[in-house]
Amino acid sequence: MIFDNLSNSSVYESLHPLFKKAFDYLKQNDLSNVAPGKIELDGAKLYISVQEPKGKTPEEAKLETHAKYIDIQYLIQGKEAIGWAYAGDCKLEKAPYNPEKDITFFDDKPTCDVELLPGDFCIFFPGDAHAPCIGSGFIKKAVVKVLIQSC
């Protein structure tokens, strides 16, 4: 997991061939007035899901992992906490891997939390189990999906 502010995104652009394109889009576009939905940047290789999720309690938020995509979760408005755990330590599978949605859910508890404010982002790789949308009040975020094998 990487946690930082969008102003520092250039530090991470070399980690994946599509990261620069993703971060450039986030920096160059005001998503605060964009309706929830999908924005395609490079077909299935790179897209953004703009979301306005209902905040969850830490107990309601379930850890999830992805096998095909890296998540860049960027907070647009509100305040959000995201729980984290090493995926290899997650043993309590709640729902088996769904290849269509590229997701597995777990009942394990996060080992730490990060709190995002507008402009902050987290990058979650397949080894990062994460429990997003912890918070109350209005949350607006962009979840950038980056295909691992994009080249």
Each domain of the chain, given as residue ranges in start order, spans 2-147
Q: Which superfamily does 2-147 belong to?
A: YhcH/YjgK/YiaL (2.60.120.370)
pTM: 0.95
Mean of the per-residue pLDDT values of the chain: 97
Asked if residue 44 has pLDDT above 80, the reply is yes
Asked if residue 17 has pLDDT above 80, the reply is yes
Residues 115-129: tens digit of each pLDDT: 999 999 999 999 999
Residues 58-104: tens digit of each pLDDT: 999 999 999 999 999 999 999 999 999 999 999 999 999 999 999 99
What pLDDT does residue 150 have?
Answer: 56
Residues 48-63: tens digit of each pLDDT: 999 999 999 999 999 9
Query: Do 34 and 74 contact (CB within 8 A), yes or no?
Result: no
CA-nearest of 100, 21, 25, 31 to 67 is: 100
